[in-house]
Amino acid sequence: MAVTFQQHIVQEQANLSGSPELQWMLSGIVLATKLIQAQVRRAGLVDILGSLGETNVQGEVQQKLDVYANETLINSLKIRQSIGVIASEENEQLLVVQKDLANAQYAIVFDPLDGSSNIDVAVTIGTTFSIFRRPENVDVNDPMQWILQTGRNQIAAGYVVYGSSTVLVYSLGNGVHAFTLDPSIGSYILTHENIQMPAQGSYYSMNEAYCAEFSPIYLNYLERLKTGKLDKFYSSRFVGSLVADFHRTLLRGGIFIYPENKTYPEGRLRLMYEANPIAFIAEQAGGKASNGKLPILDIKPNDLHQRTALIVGGAVEMAEFERFMAEAETSKAVSLN
Ligand code: AFP
């Protein structure tokens, strides 16, 4: 018998003694992503493609579908009274959605449509999300403090990938589960339970066009992957939608690498709504995620839209990566002495 997302979350909550509000919040995400995916599927048919001509906080041109996805998520989440604060890639400021913040307990952060440059070429895109509980020891009326927590504090995180099928991947910190949308009944059905990343894969995922701008450590590491030093000759895959590139890495194994470069000295990806949910899922599935110095989930954010380097992958690739970084640090220290 097929298990729907709603059935699964009820069970998960009972196992974890979670609050019913969590189920209510996640059902808001589920509803919004069903609406978003319906528009994504019709993107070439209706007059929804094209730019609104506005730029978002990152200076990128917003696509109409980005705006639709953002509004749909906000509208379906702001009516959940337990959610006090919403933050989105598309909004420079966070949104306080309850009049009386003391009665709300959760903050939600999302990227409504990641990989939006892929929309008008019919390539996979996605939605990422993270949920935090309001910390105990903060001023309730200072909503930024609800959000600026390390990724370790996420109580739920996940993403939806709009690809050849629509797949919702989530974790409450008790394993990773994936649900595929059955369009004939409009329900997400459990298709991958307790996902474990393969310890080693055979793909690396990186925009190699920027190689000249990356630190030589990354190039040396790539060379090892390409030349069979990890007992396999790696092949490359890069779509330019983090959700698509990571989803493949989650299921097939391997490593996704987006380091700092000259244009983005901190890294290109956003910590709060891209790297954090991906890192949470990766760790829950037996993988690792780092910014090259420390685990993504241990980075203390100081800005809602801050960027980070992101290296995420399976146990074997990440162990080799960490060894490489440690070696580089040691030789730097030796040459300074
Ligand atoms: P957009 O959502 O603005 O298209 O950005 C997508 C993204 O942040 C991430 O999904 C990709 O991994 C990355 O950009 C691709 O960026 P490059 O074109 O710099 O490789």
Tens digit of each residue's pLDDT (9 = 90 or more) over 172-188: 999 999 999 999 999 99
Question: What phi, psi does 161 have (nearest 5°)?
Answer: -110, 125
**The tokens of 184 are what?**
């004939």
Residue 44 confidence class, pLDDT cut points 50, 70, 90: confident
Contact 213, 261 (CB under 8 A): yes
Residue 333 confidence class, pLDDT cut points 50, 70, 90: low
Q: How far is 177 from 194, CA to CA, in rounded Å? A: 5
Q: How many CA atoms lie within 13 A of 329 on its CB side?
A: 9
**The tokens of 62 are what?**
């917003």
Per-residue pLDDT tens digits for 199-252: 999 999 999 999 999 988 999 999 999 999 999 999 999 999 999 999 999 999
- pLDDT at 327 > cutoff 90: no
CA-wise closest residue to 181 among 33, 75, 76, 27: 33
Question: How close is the Cα of 242 to the center of ligand 1, in Å?
Answer: 7
Residues in the chain: 337
- pLDDT at 63 > cutoff 60: no
Question: How close is the Cα of 159 to the center of ligand 1, in Å?
Answer: 15
Q: How far is 156 from 264, CA to CA, in rounded Å? A: 29
Ligand 1 atom at minimum distance from 245 CA: 12
Q: How far is 219 from 200, CA to CA, in rounded Å? A: 20
Ligand 1 atom at minimum distance from 66 CA: 2
- pLDDT at 51 > cutoff 70: no
pTM for the full predicted model: 0.93
Residue carrying the six token digits 């990356």: 214
- pLDDT at 189 > cutoff 70: yes
Within 8 A by CB and 6+ apart from 316, the residues are 199, 200, 230
Q: How many CB atoms within 10 Å of residue 5?
A: 21
Question: How close is the Cα of 115 to the center of ligand 1, in Å?
Answer: 5
Phi and psi based region of residue 19 (left: phi greater than 0; alpha: psi -120 to 50; beta: remaining): beta
Taking CA atoms only, the protein residue closest to ligand 1 atom 1 is 115
Taking CA atoms only, the protein residue closest to ligand 1 atom 12 is 242
Question: How close is the Cα of 305 to the center of ligand 1, in Å?
Answer: 14
Q: pLDDT at position 1, please?
A: 84
Taking CA atoms only, the protein residue closest to ligand 1 atom 4 is 115
**Mean pLDDT (the chain, rounded):** 92
The whole-angstrom distance between residue 118's C-alpha and the CA centroid of its chain comes to 17
Residue carrying the six token digits 């307790």: 194
Question: How close is the Cα of 117 to the center of ligand 1, in Å?
Answer: 8
Taking CA atoms only, the protein residue closest to ligand 1 atom 6 is 115
Question: How close is the Cα of 9 to the center of ligand 1, in Å?
Answer: 31
Taking CA atoms only, the protein residue closest to ligand 1 atom 15 is 240
**The tokens of 127 are what?**
């939605």
- Considering Cα of 180, then 168, then 236, then 164, what sign does the dihedral take? positive
Sheet holding 288-290, edge to edge: 235-236, 203-205, 255-258, 310-313, 288-290
- pLDDT at 135 > cutoff 70: yes
3-state secondary structure of 232: coil
Within 8 A by CB and 6+ apart from 244, the residues are 115, 123, 124, 125, 126, 161, 163
Ligand 1 site, CB within 6 A: 60, 114-117, 207, 240-242, 268-269
Contact 129, 257 (CB under 8 A): no
The whole-angstrom distance between residue 93's C-alpha and the CA centroid of its chain comes to 20
Ligand 1 mutation pick, 211, 268, 271, 307, max ligand atoms within 8 A of CB: 268
Question: How close is the Cα of 240 to the center of ligand 1, in Å?
Answer: 5
Ligand 1 mutation pick, 64, 206, 207, max ligand atoms within 8 A of CB: 207
Residue 56 confidence class, pLDDT cut points 50, 70, 90: low
Ligand 1 atom at minimum distance from 270 CA: 8
- pLDDT at 292 > cutoff 80: yes
Per-residue pLDDT tens digits for 238-261: 999 999 999 999 999 999 999 999
Q: Between 187 and 335, name the one with better pLDDT.
A: 187
Strands 255-258 and 125-133: unpaired
Question: How close is the Cα of 118 to the center of ligand 1, in Å?
Answer: 9
- pLDDT at 195 > cutoff 90: yes
Q: How far is 141 from 143, CA to CA, in rounded Å? A: 6
- Cite the DSSP H helix spans in 194-309: 216-226, 242-252, 276-284
